[in-house]
């Protein structure tokens, strides 16, 4: 079991609230840190040392200032952060968005579910796979 | 020279006669010693010869006179003719000029009109392209941005229900469920609109594809539904066409699932797919420019509930439904997508329902 923290960048306050609620309702113990846009997440990341690696990063695609694609690219080109699993969490189910995300090095693409029950299930599945099943880099 | 004139001919015959006599006399007189020199003037040959001579001279004068008169009259008629020709030449020339200039004016007008028509056409195409891409953008953006608030409505009403289920009065719970149900339905509509708007040919080229493969793929996508209803699908060998494989697969998928979905209660759906090559002129409401082309006619027939004749065109309109939502689920996008796919391939699709029930879908694709 991995209790390291999870990062999430999403410009939508409601979505941040709902994801937080879904984490609580699923009783996931990992702390989750939210950012309002990609730039803030990158600022946070550049101030961190290696010991404080997050276990997962959730990225929204369409955000002001720096969008998910730019953040994804920057993180994948970073020597320390290029191994952190990144999950794209977007409303878009356009084939070109999905394709582009994987090309840029995303580990997983999830279309935001359209109901809270759906969201709860998705978060539970993420926990089951990425936190319980998958072997992750230290 | 005188063959055409009887009087002259007579004169020339007479002259020939005179001349031969004259010649004879001359020969007689020329023989030395035949006629004594002193009696020469009295010799009948000599006098007659002189008379002949005069007659010849007279004849020649007459003939010359006649010929000169003839020449004169001919010259006159020639002059008159030339004058007339001259006049005719002018008339012909004027007519030609008028004809040519009017032809030129007509041609010029036609070219101008053509040019104007071309410009109009270009403008119309521009407008059409613009409104098309605007519409696409509109649909795409609208469906994306419309989904956002809807997702929130559902998520929050959903969460309220799940979190406070036990604390909620029954009627509040009921109303929240209605909110959830309606927003879910709207989500479906928007998603369908989005998938409808995505069926465009932009940026891709048609490729050679085998319709049998597309049909098989569609059947395998629907295998669960087909097995569940025990549907029997028979198909003749289908042709290969130039087109978009994923669209053709979707076309078959929508038609098959439509046939399976609207099967007769208690009966097993049976679907027959037949193929023949037809001339364009048999297609109703075909564009005039298509009548000479050959078309692949692919007919999908089922034994389902069919529909009333007056709905034959309406069923292809987006979000048009013929049944109550409680009877048959769905938004009414399936056949609209079929129509769009067939139009994308420059083809035609028609539906009809024979009196005995069942529905036939005729798809015409350019061969």
Report ipTM (2 d.p.): 0.78
Distance CA A99, CA A93 (A): 10
Q: How many CB pairs under 8 A join A and B?
A: 36
pLDDT tier at B201 (50, 70, 90 boundaries)? low
Q: Which helix (H) or strand (E) holds A88?
A: strand A86-90
Buried b (16+ CB within 10 A) or exposed e, A5-16: ebbbbbbbeebb
Kindly identify which residue of chain B lies nearest to residue A120, measuring between CA atoms. Answer: B159
pLDDT tens, residue by residue, A40-77: 888 888 877 666 778 899 999 888 878 888 889 888 88
B155/A91 CB distance under 8 A = no
The pLDDT of residue B36 is 66
Contact of B45 with B25, CB cutoff 8 Å: yes
Would the pLDDT of B224 be above 60? yes
Sequence-separated contacts (24+) of B222-228 with Cβ below 8 Å: B222/B253, B222/B256, B222/B257, B222/B260, B225/B257, B225/B260, B226/B256, B226/B260
How far the first Cα of chain B sits from its last, in Å, is 80
Strand partners, B298: B275, B363
In B, which residues are within 8 Å of A92 by CB distance? 144
DSSP-H helix ranges across B165-238: 170-198, 211-221, 223-229
Strands (E), B282-341: 294-302
Q: A114–B154: do the CB atoms touch at under 8 Å? A: yes
Separation between Cα atoms, residue B23 and residue B176, nearest integer Å: 150
Among A94-98, B102-106, B355-359, whose mean pLDDT is lowest? B355-359
- Say if residue B216's pLDDT is above 90: yes
- Pairwise CA distance, residues B144 & A91, whole Å: 8
Q: pTM, whole model, 2 decimals?
A: 0.61
| Mean predicted confidence (pLDDT) in B360-366 | 91
Kindly list the residues from chain A whose CB atom is less than 8 angstroms away from the CB atom of residue B187.
114
Cβ contact, residue pair B159, A18, below 8 Å: yes
Six-digit token string for B199: 């069926």
Q: Are B315 and B307 in contact (CB under 8 A)?
A: yes
In chain A, what residues touch B179 (CB-CB under 8 Å)?
none
Write A103-112 long-range contacts (CB < 8 A, 24+): A104/A69, A104/A72, A104/A73, A104/A76, A105/A72, A105/A73, A105/A76, A106/A59, A106/A72, A112/A15, A112/B151
Note the pLDDT tens digit of each residue in B64-89.
888 888 889 989 998 988 888 888 89
Q: How confident is the model at residue B46 (pLDDT cuts 50, 70, 90)?
A: confident
Angstrom distance (rounded) from CA B5 to CA A127: 132
- Residue A115 at interface with chain B, using a CB cutoff of 8 Å: yes
Question: pLDDT averaged over chain A?
Answer: 87
pLDDT, tens digit (0-9, with 9 covering 90-100), for B242-253: 998 888 999 999
What is the average per-residue pLDDT within B285-304? 87
């Amino acid at each position: 079991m991995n209790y390291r923290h999870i990062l999430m960048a999403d410009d939508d306050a409601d979505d941040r609230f709902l994801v937080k609620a879904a984490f609580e309702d699923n009783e996931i113990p990992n702390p989750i840190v939210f950012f309002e846009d990609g730039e803030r997440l990158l600022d946070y990341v550049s101030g961190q040392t290696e010991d404080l690696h997050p276990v997962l990063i959730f990225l929204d695609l369409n955000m002001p200032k720096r969008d998910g694609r730019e953040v994804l690219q920057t993180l994948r080109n970073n020597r320390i952060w290029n191994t952190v699993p990144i999950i794209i969490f977007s409303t878009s189910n356009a084939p070109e968005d999905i394709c582009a995300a994987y090309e840029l090095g995303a580990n997983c693409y999830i279309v935001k579910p359209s109901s809270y029950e759906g969201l709860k299930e998705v978060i539970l599945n993420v926990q089951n796979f990425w936190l319980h099943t998958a072997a992750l880099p230290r | 020279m005188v063959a055409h004139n009887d009087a002259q001919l007579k004169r020339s015959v007479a002259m020939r006669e005179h001349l031969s006599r004259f010649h004879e006399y001359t020969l007689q007189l020329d023989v030395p010693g035949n006629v004594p020199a002193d009696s020469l003037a009295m010799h009948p040959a000599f006098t007659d010869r002189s008379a002949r001579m005069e007659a010849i001279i007279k004849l020649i004068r007459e003939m010359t006179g006649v010929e000169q008169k003839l020449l004169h009259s001919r010259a006159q008629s020639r002059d008159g003719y030339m004058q007339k020709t001259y006049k005719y030449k002018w008339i012909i020339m004027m007519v030609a000029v008028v004809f040519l200039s009017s032809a030129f004016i007509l041609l010029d007008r036609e070219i101008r009109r053509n040019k104007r028509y071309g410009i109009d056409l270009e403008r119309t195409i521009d407008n059409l392209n613009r409104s098309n891409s605007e519409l696409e953008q509109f649909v795409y953006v609208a469906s994306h941005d419309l989904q956002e608030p809807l997702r929130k409505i559902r998520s929050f009403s959903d969460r309220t229900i799940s979190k406070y289920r036990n604390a909620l009065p029954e009627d509040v719970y009921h109303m929240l469920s209605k909110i959830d149900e309606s927003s879910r339905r709207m989500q479906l509509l928007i998603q369908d609109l989005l998938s409808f708007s995505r069926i465009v040919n932009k940026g891709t080229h048609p490729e050679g594809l085998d319709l049998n493969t597309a049909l098989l793929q569609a059947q395998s996508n629907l295998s669960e539904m087909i097995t569940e209803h025990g549907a029997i699908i028979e198909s003749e060998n289908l042709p290969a066409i130039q087109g978009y494989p994923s669209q053709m697969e979707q076309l078959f998928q929508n038609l098959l699932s439509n046939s399976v979905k609207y099967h007769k209660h208690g009966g097993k759906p049976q679907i027959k797919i037949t193929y023949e090559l037809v001339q364009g002129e048999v297609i109703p409401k075909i564009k005039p420019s298509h009548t000479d082309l050959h078309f692949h006619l692919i007919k999908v027939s089922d034994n389902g509930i069919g529909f009333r004749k007056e709905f034959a065109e309406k069923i292809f309109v987006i979000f048009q439904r013929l049944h109550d939502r409680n009877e048959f689920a769905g938004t009414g996008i399936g056949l609209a997508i079929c129509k769009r796919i067939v139009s994308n391939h420059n083809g035609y699709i028609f539906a009809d329902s024979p009196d005995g029930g069942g529905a036939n879908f005729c798809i015409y694709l350019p061969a």
